[in-house]
Chain A
Amino acid sequence: MAYVAVRGGKQAINASIESLTYQRLKSGTAPDANIIEQSMHALIDQVMAEGSLYSETIAALAVKQAEGSPEEAVFLLRAFRSTLPRKHYSMEVDTTGMRIERRISAAFKDIPGGQILGTSADYTHRLIDFGIFRESPEEIRTWIENYLKKEIDEAAVRKYPKVIDYLRSQGLIRKLASKETEPSDVTKKNLTFPAERSERLQILTRGQTGAVTALGYAALRGYGAVHPTVGELRVGKIPLTVANPFSGKNPDDAYYFGEIRITEVESLIPVTVPMGMGESRIEFDIGYGICFGQNETKAIAMSILDQCLEVGDPQYPTGDEEFVLLHIDSVEATGFISHLKLPHYVTFQAKLDSVREIARTRTRTRSGEADHEQQL
């Protein structure tokens, strides 16, 4: 009879996977994905942005499957994204035409079109509301009825001028030649350095919220010479279209295929511009931040990092493209950190062999030296 090895690998793995499902289901209830979609907007938005795939429904399903872990949900979404054929690029969008839900400026009080606070947690006290622990459908209905009775100042559908256009008209923003080159797609072409700005913006907007925030904060706090003013922060919906193949770039003939909700930030960053003869003056650079859904902290941090990388001050890690761009991706960072849990039996054995050899030869040398001293 042939030798039958006793091996438990497969069974142990299956047991672990089953246990994961048990953990998800053991309370006897599981929320429908559409309840997650309707009630966890912030998480859905974060997962869509980091997952680089705009679908609230699939993001909600990923959140459900991942039991609320953004890291896992993003991972699921990215893997799903890999299986989708990509046939079109959208036409460029002018965000001046955004359907605004929220729009604030930290630079000017009276911006043309006015400030719209919209939906935000910024103005709440962060006190845990024990009252909403359980909310009955009747309570919710009554609340909504009362809310809708009030006159709501619906933001009129109109174009809101950009705050920075005002500064630009005053000649206070550094003039740069406009670049009309097609953006390079970082998911189709490997990133090379120095990177193009379009590539940097893509990596930043896909970046892990925590990582982008941390590096943006570092640049703000001292590892970077930036103190920006939020010129304008907008949350709203923008329409997406693809070009009609028969009429080229004519936007009037383009096919509309839906709209996405985004957060967009334009930060103003003062920079010293030398004028010659030892004199200089101050102008503003613009840092740009954008992401799917409503994630304002990330968009602002992104705008800081955009400017840091544009300037590329070698004094600070936040000015180093490779340092910033290669380490903020959720799937890459969490993947490589978690791979340390994999068996390293062979590599560790190889290292051990080397360590022992060194120890052996070194001891021999040292005892040899001791003998020599004794003889003396």
Chain B
Amino acid sequence: MNSSYNYAFFDEGSKREIRRAILKAIAIPGYQVPFASREMPIARGWGTGGLQITLSIIGRSDTLKVIDQGSDESVNAVNIKKLITLTTDVPVTNDAEKATIIQSRHRIPEKPLNENQVLVLQVPLPEPLRFFEPSEYATKKLHAEKEYSGAYLILFDEIIRLGRMAGGADHPVEVNGRYVMAPSPIPKFDNPKMHESQALILLGAGREKKIYAVPPYTKVASLAFDDYPFQREKSIGQTCRLCGASGVFMDELTDDETGSTSYQCNDTSYCLERMNSHDA
């Protein structure tokens, strides 16, 4: 039995359908557009939302970069790249600057992106109000009525119980003064990169069947209170043990023998490029 797949895996009708959802998402910044999410050859929860966006917009003139939690060589990044290159002819790069489409799980590259680039983020849970209200029917109404007390209540509750906004990644943002949006589980460190981003940011949640977007030059504000301002992670104050960078998001490493802790850039291609330029 032989079977061959269409360019970029999907049939053209499917791609067009997804592109229509993307266009709507761009037209209504931060609004979660429902779409008929397809089952993909990679598992739900492993980036199928991002993958569907990428496959629908990719063309022969594109250059692709895929990162997973900062790494170009993580299992998931490798798998997604493999699938895309199997069904398209696009070149792949690790260099954030050279890519026209960057699909990423939970990080925004350290290098600033430009107008000719699209950042596709993989989203596990697109609904910022989900832990306040489990019902989709109810949260849709809350968005329609711009009723975001729940999002603030979650943060307020943390401050009361724990003394600060205690969430890790996926700190909610308000987009264009209207919709509260889950920025996907990027660390708080990356939230400000969304604000007035030159690159188009598309977010895809495959399992939850939603696509949403932050168009270029859109206001994105992390939710906070006047007396409890938004704070980024503390570990960014450290210095990378490899390239000496600071002020970027760090991985924490423990030495097997000495038990000592050191830090290293989480964005591996950024780190590598810095090291290469040192050596040159």
A and B assemble together: yes
A75 touches B164 (CB 8 A): no
B11 touches A335 (CB 8 A): no
Given contacts A334-B43, A346-B107, A346-B249, contact A192 B34 (CB under 8 A): yes
CA distance A365 to B38 in the complex (A): 51
Is B167 part of the binding interface, using a Cβ–Cβ cutoff of 8 Å? yes
B252 touches A352 (CB 8 A): yes
CA distance A351 to B106 in the complex (A): 13
Closest 7 interchain pairs by CB? Answer: A335-B44, A339-B45, A351-B168, A9-B73, A190-B34, A78-B39, A350-B168
**Those of B45-71 within 8 Å (CB) of chain A:** 45-46, 48, 68-71
Q: Which residues of A contact B (CB under 8 A)?
A: 1-3, 5, 7, 9-10, 12-13, 57, 61, 75-76, 78-85, 187-194, 322, 326, 331-332, 334-339, 342-358, 361-362, 365
A82 touches B34 (CB 8 A): no
**Those of B227-275 within 8 Å (CB) of chain A:** 233-235, 249-252, 266, 268, 272, 275
> In the complex, how many angstroms separate the beta carbon of B39 from the nearest chain A beta carbon?
3
A-B contact count (CB 8 A): 175
A336 partner residues in chain B, CB cutoff 8 A: 44-45, 124, 207
A351 partner residues in chain B, CB cutoff 8 A: 168-169
B43 touches A338 (CB 8 A): yes
Q: Which of B69, B207, B279 contacts A346 (CB 8 A)?
A: B69
B68 touches A82 (CB 8 A): no
> In the complex, how many angstroms separate the beta carbon of B242 from the nearest chain A beta carbon?
9
What are 11 A-B interface contacts by the 8 Å CB criterion?
A9-B78, A10-B73, A332-B44, A336-B45, A339-B43, A339-B46, A342-B75, A346-B249, A347-B187, A352-B252, A353-B235
B268 partner residues in chain A, CB cutoff 8 A: 5
> In the complex, how many angstroms separate the beta carbon of A180 from the nearest chain B beta carbon?
24
Q: Which of B69, B207, B249, B280 contacts A344 (CB 8 A)?
A: B69
A13 touches B167 (CB 8 A): no
B148 partner residues in chain A, CB cutoff 8 A: none
Shortest Cβ distance from B162 into A: residue:
A358
B36 touches A189 (CB 8 A): yes
Shortest Cβ distance from A365 into B: residue:
B163
CA distance A332 to B209 in the complex (A): 11
B106 partner residues in chain A, CB cutoff 8 A: 346-347
B124 partner residues in chain A, CB cutoff 8 A: 336, 339
A326 partner residues in chain B, CB cutoff 8 A: 136
A353 touches B36 (CB 8 A): no
A79 touches B279 (CB 8 A): no
**Those of B162-180 within 8 Å (CB) of chain A:** 162-164, 166-170
A61 partner residues in chain B, CB cutoff 8 A: 1
A335 touches B46 (CB 8 A): yes
Shortest Cβ distance from B271 into A: residue:
A5
9 A-B pairs besides A9-B77, A335-B207 with CB distance below 8 A are A2-B279, A10-B73, A84-B11, A188-B17, A322-B137, A350-B188, A352-B168, A353-B235, A354-B168
A1 partner residues in chain B, CB cutoff 8 A: 279
Q: Which of A57, A190, A347, A361 contacts B168 (CB 8 A)?
A: A347
Is B9 part of the binding interface, using a Cβ–Cβ cutoff of 8 Å? yes
A365 partner residues in chain B, CB cutoff 8 A: 163
CA distance A193 to B41 in the complex (A): 28
Given contacts A10-B78, A79-B41, A82-B40, contact A350 B266 (CB under 8 A): no
**Those of B103-129 within 8 Å (CB) of chain A:** 105-107, 124
CA distance A332 to B170 in the complex (A): 21
**Those of B1-35 within 8 Å (CB) of chain A:** 1, 3, 5-6, 9-11, 13-14, 17, 34-35
CA distance A346 to B105 in the complex (A): 10
Q: Which of B6, B40, B169, B210 contacts A350 (CB 8 A)?
A: B169
B100 partner residues in chain A, CB cutoff 8 A: none
Q: Which of A13, A81, A334 contacts B75 (CB 8 A)?
A: A13
> In the complex, how many angstroms separate the beta carbon of B147 from the nearest chain A beta carbon?
18
A347 touches B169 (CB 8 A): yes
> In the complex, how many angstroms separate the beta carbon of B205 from the nearest chain A beta carbon?
11
Is B222 part of the binding interface, using a Cβ–Cβ cutoff of 8 Å? no
A356 partner residues in chain B, CB cutoff 8 A: 234
> In the complex, how many angstroms separate the beta carbon of B34 from the nearest chain A beta carbon?
3
A362 partner residues in chain B, CB cutoff 8 A: 162-163
B136 partner residues in chain A, CB cutoff 8 A: 192-193, 322, 326
A334 partner residues in chain B, CB cutoff 8 A: 43-44
B275 partner residues in chain A, CB cutoff 8 A: 3, 5
Q: Indicate the member of A75, A187, A335 with the most B CB atoms within 10 Å.
A: A335
